[in-house]
Amino acid sequence: MSEISRADVEHLAKLAHLSLTEEELDRMASELAVIVDSVKKVSEAVSEDVPATSHPLPLTNVLRDDVIGHTFTAQQSLHNAPDSEDGRFKVPAILDEE
C-alpha cells in the first residue's frame, strides 16, 4: 500500500483550505493511500499493445436521417394562440424594453 502520511494529508488540507479533525486526518490518509494504489493498478494495465480508447464500446451514430415532414402554415400555427400580431405570437413583455 502506498504511504500517504498524516503530514501529507495535513499539507493537502492546508492547500485546499480545509479544516480537518484528528480523526479525519487519519481516515483520509488511509483513504488516499487506497486511491493512489488504485491509480497505480490502472497505470500498470497501460502498455504499448493496448490501444487507447475513449469509450469501452464502439459507438455508432444512432440518429435518424433528417426528413422533412408535415409543416404547419403560419395561420395554422397561430389558430389557437391566445394572442397574435403581424403573423407572430404575442406574449407579455418580460423586459422593460419596447
| Architecture of the domain spanning 6-45 | Orthogonal Bundle (1.10)
pTM of the model: 0.45
| pLDDT per position as a tens digit, 40-60 | 888 887 777 777 777 888 878
Q: What percent of the chain has pLDDT over 70?
A: 96
| pLDDT per position as a tens digit, 11-26 | 999 999 999 999 999 9
> Mean pLDDT over residues 21-40, rounded?
92
CB within 8 A of 83, min separation 6: which ones?
Answer: 89, 90, 91
* Domain range summary for the chain, segments of one domain joined by +: 6-45
How buried is residue 41: exposed, middle or buried, by Cβ count under 10 Å (0-12/13-18/19+)? exposed
